[in-house]
Amino acid sequence: MISTHSRRLGQDLVLPTLLFAALGGMTWAVRGCSGYGGMDGCLFAGVTWGAAWWFISRQPGPRQSRRYTSGWIILAVAAGVAVSGNRGWMQWPSFFDGRLQTNTPKGQFAPLSPAYGYLWLFIAGVPWAGIGACLLAWCASGRPLRARDWALRLACAFAGAALGRWLFNHFPDLFLPLHQRLAAEYANLQAHPNLGRLIRDNGQALTHLGFYLGCLAYEAGRRDWKNVILILTVGLVNGAGWATLRNWSWANHLWPTAHFNFWRCWESSAGISIGVAYGIAYFLVNQPLAETEQTELGPWLGHPHPNAERIGAYLGLWLGLGISIKNGLKGWANIYVGNESYWNAVLWRIIGPLLILGVIALLLRVWRRPLPRGFAADAFPRAYRWIWLVLITQNVLAQLITGPWTAWNEVAFSLYYLLLFLLSGVIVHHLHCLRALVPVRPAATAGAAG
């Protein structure tokens, strides 16, 4: 017989971690490919992680046994990870080779300790994954928040970002490598363009870290220790993971004659690192609650505002998948037709209005077919179909922008994505079957659900 402890480890640690890691391995590799990149690529990954977290957390029925199950999680993680993508990291890989690039096309650089590479990959990795965890934490406060509490929460987050930027602007010697020694080069960015990009990337990384720490400070101040553990775990695990991976800068030295897309290997492994961070955090904060905790949280576990829950889930899925599809089609056109900018404009003219009309239709649907407060049945009876919609859509897009098939590098990644899809699909189906074994309390109130 398998012990309860072993089952709990398998269902709440091993399988969620494998699922988030598999999704990260595909989505983060796609993040930097044709049609994606930056915020668009991070949104692609974020909506997939958010939907997966939401789905595996839920139980069929009105009352939930886990804390982090809100329908707003999909939109929160998608938005948080997307915002984190509004910066770059291209100036740091050379740090691991002991070089601070000043003008790459002319081969100009300054000697630098490789320790700076580990430092800045850690600083970048903490908020890159952690901001999504901050917004996820906002979806499940241990105690209900009033308007002034939300105002203070937001003030702490943005004050942290402002403080991070202020420190960067006023103490450049601390945050720009060799700033004193290369003062003349830093003052002449036209002749040393890489230093201009370094100023941008380091400044944005510190601003995002400030936002992350501001969110963490608020949760610590209100002693919501589960939110603190969630935010800390995701940030620190991924920061350590990214620093260890070193942008795969070691690959060209290990296989000097190989002709492979090592940068996409780095992107994929970076996504796996984020997935592992979310999987560990899921285990630490989102196991089924004890009876005393369920009594303490009371009606909040049953989501007393089911219509708001539906709106959150609908918006996250509709906007996240809609924008992902637009970018995937743009990337496909760029590979096989050309002129990405032209097709981006064409697709926006088609998909943009559809997204707006879809949001209006979703809001009207909730307004015309509302669920009663305290709805005593499952507000999301089609959740299993939804998660498969996400998995299939994102993996089809991954195949569309991985090509052409005449390049063996692209074929290798296409097959790799297929294997990850099979792994994630098996895990989702297995966890769905386990949920089906949980007895559901009969509904006491009839109503339409979506």
Q: What is the pLDDT of residues 380-410, one digit of tens each?
A: 999 999 999 999 999 999 999 998 888 888 9
Helix (H, G, I), strand (E, B) or coil at 94: helix
The per-residue pLDDT for 446 is: 39
Residue 74 is predicted with a pLDDT of 97
Domain boundaries in the chain?
A: 4-436
Alpha-carbon distance values, 24 to 123, 263, 424 (Å): 20, 15, 10
Q: What is the pLDDT of residues 47-103, one digit of tens each?
A: 999 999 999 999 887 778 899 999 999 999 999 999 999 888 889 999 999 999 999
φ, ψ of residue 106 to 5 degrees: the values are -95, 5
Structure confidence by residue, pLDDT tens digits, 72-82: 999 999 999 99
Got the DSSP string for 221-289?
HTT-HHHHHHHHHHHHHHHHHHHHHGGGTTHHHHSTT--S-HHHHHHHHHHHHHHHHHHHHHHHH-SPP
Nearest C-alpha neighbor of 332 from the set 344, 345, 350: 344
CA distance 267 to 401: 15
> Considering Cα of 63, then 69, then 75, then 76, what sign does the dihedral take?
positive
- 301 and 35 Cβ atoms separated by less than 8 Å: no
Q: How confident is the model at residue 303 (pLDDT cuts 50, 70, 90)?
A: low
Distance CA 309, CA 306 (A): 5
Confidence of residue 450 (pLDDT cuts 50, 70, 90): low
Short-list 321, 420, 393, 350, CA closest to 43: 321
How many C-beta atoms lie closer than 10 Å to residue 419's C-beta?
12
Find residue 108's DSSP bridge partners.
Answer: 103
- Inter-residue contact 276 to 241 (CB < 8 Å): yes
Burial 126-163 (b: 16+ CB within 10 A, else e): bbbbbbbbbbbbbbbbbeeeeeeeeeebeebbeebbeb
What is the Cα–Cα distance from 409 to 2, expressed in whole angstroms?
Answer: 43
Question: What would the mean pLDDT of 265-292 be, rounded to a whole number?
Answer: 93
Supply the pTM of this predicted model.
Answer: 0.93
* Mean pLDDT value of segment 208-235: 97
pLDDT at 186 over 60: yes
Q: Omega into 306 within 30° of 0, i.e. cis?
A: no
Choose between 376 and 197: higher pLDDT: 197
Distance of alpha carbon 171 from alpha carbon 150, whole angstroms: 31
For residue 301, pLDDT over 50 is answered with yes
Residue range 146-150: mean pLDDT, rounded: 94
378 pLDDT more than 60: yes
- Residue that has been written with the tokens 């919609």 in this structure: 389
For 274-413, where are the E strands, in sequence order?
Answer: none
